[in-house]
Structure 1
Amino acid sequence: MSEMRDQLKVIATQQIRHKTLAAASFRELGKAAGIKSSSVHYHFKSRDALLLELVKDYHRDFFADLSQRCSEISSPRQRLSTLADVFCDSHAKQMQCLCQAYAAGIDSLNDEHRQASQAFFDELQHWVSDTLANARLLALPRDELAKVVVSALEGSLLLDRGEQEQQRLQATKAWLTTLSSL
Structure 2
Amino acid sequence: MIDTKTELMVRAEDLVRGRGYSGFSYADLSEAVGIRKASIHHHFPTKELLVATVLRNYTERYATALVRIETHYKDALDRFDAYGRLYLTGVDKGLGCLCAALSAELETLPDSLRLGTVSFFQAHIAWIDRIYAEGLQRKEVNGALEAGEAARMVVASLEGALMMERLLAGRKGFDMTLSAIRKSLSPYL
Determine if the TM-score, normalized by the shorter chain, exceeds 0.5.
yes
Report the equivalent of 1:15.
Answer: 15
1:181 pairs with 2:184: no
Q: CA RMSD in A?
A: 2.0
Deviation at 1:93? Answer: 2.1
Report the equivalent of 1:115.
Answer: 115
Please say if residues 91 and 161 of structure 1, whose CA atoms lie closer than 8 Å, have aligned partners that are also in contact: yes
1:171 pairs with 2:176: yes
Once the two structures are overlaid, the 10-residue window that deviates more, 171-180 or 15-24, is 15-24
Please say if residues 8 and 33 of structure 1, whose CA atoms lie closer than 8 Å, have aligned partners that are also in contact: yes
Report the equivalent of 2:105.
Answer: 105
1:147 pairs with 2:147: no
Mapping 1:1-182, distance limit 5 Å: 3-136=3-136, 137-166=142-171, 168-178=173-183, 179-181=185-187
> Residues of 2 paired with 1:62 and 1:149: CA distance?
16
Please say if residues 66 and 86 of structure 1, whose CA atoms lie closer than 8 Å, have aligned partners that are also in contact: no
Task: Give ranges in structure 1 of 5+ residues lacking alignment.
Answer: none
> Residues of 2 paired with 1:22 and 1:8: CA distance?
17
> Residues of 1 paired with 2:39 and 2:118: CA distance?
31
Task: Give ranges in structure 2 of 5+ residues lacking alignment.
Answer: 137-141
Please say if residues 135 and 181 of structure 1, whose CA atoms lie closer than 8 Å, have aligned partners that are also in contact: no
What are the superposed Cα offsets for residues 64-111 of structure 1, whole Å, 9 maximum, x if unpaired?
A: 134324422110110001111112332012221111111122233112
Q: How many residue pairs align between the two structures? A: 181
Pair 1:165–1:31, CA change in 2 (3 A): closer
Deviation at 1:167? Answer: 5.1
Q: Secondary structure at the match of 1:177?
A: helix
Once the two structures are overlaid, the 10-residue window that deviates more, 83-92 or 62-71, is 62-71
Between the aligned residues of both structures, percent identity stands at 24
> Residues of 1 paired with 2:54 and 2:83: CA distance?
21
